[in-house]
Amino acid sequence: MTQVWKKWRWDGLGLSIAGLCLVHCLVTMFLLAFLASASGVLFNSIIHEAGLLLAILFGVLALGKGFWDHGLFTPAIVGAAGIGMMAGALTLPHGLMEIVWTVLGVICLALGHFLNHRASA
């Protein structure tokens, strides 16, 4: 079990946070379609800024360690592109385009973590 934890530690945390972000985006979209009053809590900018900070932190830790271990640029580049998309989405007004760019960024970052994990195997 210790080997599994060491192998998945950072990429697993990164993938988990990416999944939580994706769930947050989708749940927010559906809740807003049915409950307009929920927008005050779920659209709070601190949630998005904190999420991006966590994505950057775990991205740097996991993808940086992966690069150090296997020396492949691709996972880090794909992950960095995802973080860039997520950061860019924060500059957009709340709405469909913000959600689309955030979800694309999360998927791209998750793909970077997945590629990193496969390269380390």
Q: Residue 84 — very low, low, confident or very high, per pLDDT cuts 50/70/90?
A: very high
Mean pLDDT of 88-108: 88
Would you state the pLDDT for residue 61?
Answer: 86
Q: Is the pLDDT of residue 54 over 90?
A: no
Question: At how many degrees (to 10) do helices 96-120 and 2-34 cross?
Answer: 170
83 Cβ partners below 8 Å, 6+ apart?
Answer: 52, 55, 56, 59, 105, 109
